[in-house]
Structure 1
């Protein structure tokens, strides 16, 4: 962490001293007393089930030298003489404001990534592509919201060349706040689907919310988009650089050609807008959607001066975030673990990956897709229909929209419905056959990783 002074901190958060302590070299920022480090800054956030102000004294006892609070829920004399206590109007805003100020002290390139699906995979690929030339930081896990992203920014220092930051949202204004904090030099929008349509009501509104990532762009900033997406394809007349990638249109900047999709890798070449053809790209992840994600990363690499050869070398170090299309081949069968989250677009992409596998039966274990609002029933029905069209051998469903899945799939002999994960596990334990391929996918709240863990035990 780069140096921050006490004066800089109180000005950045627009706060007032309740108590001024000893100035030290601050080494970290935390919002959780369980992870307090020595000489850290503790920001007391409020949640629906907790109030961080109640833990400010504990944070100071564990090593925090500054406590930023928005409610006095302690006795000021309980803090040691070394600790500063700063009161602000809103600690969540203070977290964002301090991160924004800290970002302004960093001389690194920031790449912001958003989209309805594929944010995390694209983040991982971008980081790998750039790694052959630059020291790269990338968002850890899913720290991509108004609390997680600022915490990621505080992990940066000027030893890094590039930061690849994921930006998530569920409503208007959230990406705006993240962009204000992170000030990306380059933005990537993976696609516009129906995730969070419960709150935003239309895909057009989702596009508008995602485009907030460019709210602080100037003429020299660049936005990279997936032109295979119908709404992104229509973007034009922007005041900054627009770079298009895809597999369909001819008039784009980077087009994938000679695409080969295998069980555990993709292979393709790239033709750029000048007609130059790249060497062969081989990426050890499955699915056509990851061809598009890789193209987004390649466009980013070109902006930052990498050759195709350097990018291909960087991709060799690709490390994926867990529970996202994790292929687990055991002694008896194959598991496609995509249990981290689910939306209609990612469901179809995962089913396509399942079809690329050689094996006995293709089994899809699917649960509820959240945050789809009034469209939930029809969108679950559509996934059932898609699974039927792709000749899935057995569909196993659970959750509140099992009826929709079944109606879309139609073939009652090849679909099973269960009330909970335990019953699914019991069935699979007794019915699974050698060389079956099993896709497990649902929204995070369904906790389908329990099914995956059970399958791993059976398959060991």
Structure 2
């Protein structure tokens, strides 16, 4: 973060005449140092207000808090009410200093991977700032904006949401010139009630787009294909099957090292592409990045080539070999769409051996949860899974659905240790094992137990 006067940073948050330079905005009191502003967030485990005095003693220029803190100077502690909203506003104030080509990425599934593909492409053309990991909320988005500088030519900001209004705030702070919506699924349906409501919430990303802003959407998603953006927004579709998409993929060949395909671009012609990511769903993510870059004026041949520079992050479809058994660790998140995609990937990678799926709960599905879990079990059975091992209450429903669809080897487990033991007893060299569940299930622990790794 480059230095910014406190007065400018807090514009619209709190009144101050101080022009003291701020060089960091932190939410962790342990990271406070001279020149920083500490945001006192009240969390489930700790209350930042309890650390405000220590932050000032450590050299913080100011503290932004929900309320006044007795015993601390009012000229350095600013009561802002909702400090998360205040942090977003501060991120927007800092972002206003710089003029990168900034793209916002959202969607029910695939947004982090799409963000990484976009960053890989933009990086081929100039210095690029991207959201680290999946830091896509009211804390993570400002954190990304604070990393902008005069040398930043491109920025890719992932934006998540839980409720209506969340994306509205984030996009007004980030002020993207273009946005991508990957897909409308059922994540957060517990809060929003329907996929139509999820679509409306995702479309809030347009609120921050300028006149003639660009909206790139998945044309194979029926809701996104039909949605009409505000009149000042250009909508461009990509897809595999859509006849209305400007950019499509054909001649897709899947393999253990990734996907190869041909990009068919109505404006620029055809280009060969290959990506080091397995699964057809990743072809969509790559197409989104290519479409975004080329419709922003970047060279299509270089953009297509740069897709190969993508690197996976965290626990998303990480391929590991364990004593001849191929493991797909996809433990970061799960919803019905990503479960379907992961099972399709397992079918492709496990074509020459037995296919084992270790599946668990998909969280935040609300009233559709039971039906969705049973449906995943049915998909596993019909997709050629040879052995299904599950953990968790949702996992038990997956096992029930698989057994009802005719899968004999469907085993719900009471503990992660039981699941790992079943794997050790069943698997042999040449098999492929998929681990997949929502992040809260920590399925990487089952993988670690099976492989004998520290957890």
Q: TM-score range by the shorter chain?
A: over 0.9
Secondary structure of 1:142's match? Answer: coil
Per the alignment, residue 59 of structure 1 pairs with: 55
Superposition pairs of residues 282-431 of structure 1, within 5 angstroms? 282-357=274-349, 358-409=351-402, 410=404, 411=406, 413-431=408-426
Deviations 1:53-88 (A, max 9, x none): 1111112233322222232335227x9xxx933332
Superposition pairs of residues 415-454 of structure 1, within 5 angstroms? 415-454=410-449
Shift of 1:156: 1.6
Per the alignment, residue 273 of structure 1 pairs with: 266
Secondary structure of 1:280's match? Answer: strand
Shift of 1:97: 1.3
2:97 pairs, out of 79, 102, 105, with 105
Aligned partners of 1:12, 1:4: CA distance in 2, in Å?
15
Q: Does the aligned pair in 1 maintain the 2:3–2:21 contact within 8 Å? A: yes
TM (norm. structure 1) is 0.93
Shift of 1:116: 0.5
Shift of 1:208: 0.5
Shift of 1:383: 0.6
1:119 pairs, out of 92, 111, 116, with 111
Q: CA RMSD in A?
A: 2.0
Shift of 1:255: 1.0
Q: Which moved more, 1:296-305 or 1:23-32?
A: 23-32
Q: Which moved more, 1:101-110 or 1:404-413?
A: 404-413
Superposition pairs of residues 78-157 of structure 1, within 5 angstroms? 84-157=76-149
Shift of 1:125: 0.4
Q: Does the aligned pair in 2 maintain the 1:228–1:248 contact within 8 Å? A: yes
Q: Does the aligned pair in 1 maintain the 2:240–2:248 contact within 8 Å? A: yes
Structure number with higher relative contact order (C-alpha < 8 Å, ≥ 6 residues apart): 1
Q: Structure 1: any 5+ residue segments left out of the alignment? A: none
Shift of 1:315: 2.7
TM (norm. structure 2) is 0.94
Q: Does the aligned pair in 2 maintain the 1:15–1:88 contact within 8 Å? A: no
Per the alignment, residue 25 of structure 1 pairs with: 21
Aligned partners of 2:286, 2:235: CA distance in 1, in Å?
17
Does residue 173 of structure 2 align to residue 181 of structure 1? yes
Deviations 1:196-227 (A, max 9, x none): 11111111111000000001334310000001
Shift of 1:344: 0.3
Q: Does the aligned pair in 1 maintain the 2:11–2:93 contact within 8 Å? A: no
Compared with structure 1, are the counterparts of its residues 109 and 379 closer, same or farther at alpha carbon in structure 2 (3 Å cutoff)? same
Deviations 1:119-167 (A, max 9, x none): 0000000000111112111101121011221122112212111110111
Per the alignment, residue 203 of structure 2 pairs with: 211
Aligned partners of 2:451, 2:273: CA distance in 1, in Å?
31
Compared with structure 1, are the counterparts of its residues 454 and 29 closer, same or farther at alpha carbon in structure 2 (3 Å cutoff)? same
